[in-house]
Every structure is written in structure tokens, then in C-alpha cells.
A = this chain, B = another copy of it.
Amino acid sequence: MKIAFLGLGRMGSGMAQNLLRAGHELVVYNRTPERMQPLVAQGAKPAASPAEAVQGVDALVTMLADDAAVETVLFGANGAFAALPAGAIHVSSSTLSEAFVVRLAEEHARAGHGFVSAPVFGRPEAAAAGKLRVVVAGTPQFVECARPIFEAIGEAVHVVGTQPQLANVVKLAGNFMIMALLEALGESYALMRKAGIEPLQFLEIINGLFRSPVYENYGRIVAEERFSPAGFAAKLGLKDMRFVLASAERAAAPMPLASLVRDRFLALMAQGGEALDWAALTRIAAMEAGLLSPSKDAS
């Protein structure tokens, strides 16, 4: 397939590489042009704008930070939307709000484009290894057309429905599950520390119980307070929680634990922690327990 790829951050670069490896013809565009070089060296064609990138493609893949970034590359100056050929499919892999995906679906339908929402689970290493877990929703015919893309980037493909936004609800809820775990860890560690038990000793016991790489990984990050550089920034975690709660409101399904996590992120922002890893939300439980001087530690 001829594919345009927009958004070459740490996740997108890995995904684009795997599309190249799978033999697809790739045109890339990134706001910071240097990030295109490694891919161009491997055979991708660079474009000067989103509009140029989508000339004559079968599919467009976007992997960007948020609703606003997608809005810009699609509908901004030299945006991809107007230039996307009729019949081409937009595969949106960003973690977006449900409402924005609903709007994208409507706009694309009106323009005669295909549209599939396909957010992914996995850290940058999984993206580089083609081992992402792809959550997919959209009209079955478009999903089938885009399947070679999912197979190139992921080790598992989960089709969850025909309405594109459903993939985003699932992705957001998955992120919520991780943030809920972080809050539970933060509260348990604060209790342990005040009772006189090392968090890592508690973690060893918890690992024996849960046997989950996610617990092992984040349990260690939090115990060792390795929040910088961020694997996934707290600011983006807050954005995700905002989207989770917007979906909760749409569905009229109260999520008090999600509300708690959001409030933790707001407190973290207020202490200046927006660039820390999202696991730093655990600092607020520590701060409340008197284990942290917020001004000192967050800087």
C-alpha cells in the first residue's frame, strides 16, 4: 500500500519503521523535520506538508499527541484532509477524545474517505519491535482494507465495534486501569513508609501476588521515584483522564476513581510536575502523608 504517516514521535517512528519493513511505500511528514531523516534513510519519502504527504495515497496514518494536533494536521494550513483522495482510509492511532473521533468520522464520511480508529497499547520499545496491541473500530470494509497496517505494527489486533469512537473508549479505559493501579500503589507505599516498611519490600510481595509486568515495572518506578525523564508525561495523563471523564459523562456512568485520579493530576500540575512521568501522580498521596515537601521535590 501507499501510506502517508504523520507524527514521528517516539511511538510514531517505530510504527512507521515497521510499515516500511513490511514493504509498504511510505511518505512521511513531521513538524520537526529532523525526525524524518532516519526513515528517509530507510526508504521513506519526505513531504513538506501534510497535504503533500497524502497525494495519491491509499491510506493515511496519524500518531499525534492530542485532539488539537490532529485538528492542525488535518484541517490547518496545508492540511491533509482536503488533499486526501476519495476512497483513501484514515487510520487514526492517537489517543483522542470520543467526541473528537465522532466528529472525524462524520467529516470523513461526508468527504468520501474511509476512517478507522486504531489506538495502540504499548511503550516506544513495543512500537519499535512491532509488538503493539492495536484496538480497532470502524466500518468492517475499511477495517479489512487497513488490516495490513495493523499487522505490520502490532502483535495483536482487537476489533471492538463498528463505530470508530469505541476504540478510543477502550483505549482510554485501559489507560485508566493503569492510572488506578498507580493511585493504589501510591497510597499503599505512603502507608508502608509511615509504618516503617520499605516500598520495594512491599512490592516484592505484591509481585508474588499479581505476577504482572505492569506492576513490576511501575512498582519499581514509583518506589525509586524515577519520574524524569518521563516515559509518558503527566500532562498527557491528565489529558487522558479528561477524556475518560468526558466519556463517562456521555455514557452517564459515574467513575469516582477516575475523578480521584484526575484530582491527583491537578495537584501534581499545581506542584509543577507536568513534565514528570504520569507515575508521579503517586507523589500526591506521599505529600498528603507528610512524606514530601511539594515545592522542593517537584522542581
Which A residues have a C-beta under 8 Å from some C-beta of B? 121, 133, 135, 156, 158, 160-161, 163, 166, 169-170, 173-174, 176-178, 180-181, 183-185, 187-188, 190-192, 194-197, 201-202, 204-206, 208-215, 238, 242, 247-249, 251-260, 262-264, 266-267, 269-272, 284-285, 287-290, 293-295
Q: How far is the CB of A180 from chain B (nearest CB, A)?
A: 4
Q: Is the CB of A294 within 8 A of B285?
A: no
| Contacting residues, chain B, for A204 (C-beta < 8 A) | 158
CB-CB under 8 A for A184 and B180, given A133-B205, A212-B215: yes
| Contacting residues, chain B, for A170 (C-beta < 8 A) | 192, 197, 202, 205
Protomer copies: 4
| Contacting residues, chain B, for A252 (C-beta < 8 A) | 194, 266-267, 269-270, 289-290
| Contacting residues, chain B, for A184 (C-beta < 8 A) | 176-177, 180-181, 257
In the bound complex, what is the Cα–Cα distance between A161 and B170 (angstroms)? 42
| Contacting residues, chain B, for A247 (C-beta < 8 A) | 191, 195
The 8 lowest CB-CB distance pairs between A and B, nearest first, are A212-B212, A270-B290, A180-B184, A259-B259, A194-B251, A254-B263, A253-B289, A252-B270
Q: How far is the CB of A178 from chain B (nearest CB, A)?
A: 8
CB-CB under 8 A for A169 and B195, given A201-B158, A206-B174, A260-B260: yes
CB-CB under 8 A for A294 and B289, given A166-B197, A267-B254: no
| Contacting residues, chain B, for A206 (C-beta < 8 A) | 174, 177
New contact pairs (12) apart from A180-B184, A210-B213, CB-CB < 8 Å: A133-B205, A170-B202, A173-B202, A187-B258, A212-B215, A252-B266, A252-B269, A252-B290, A254-B264, A259-B262, A284-B288, A287-B287
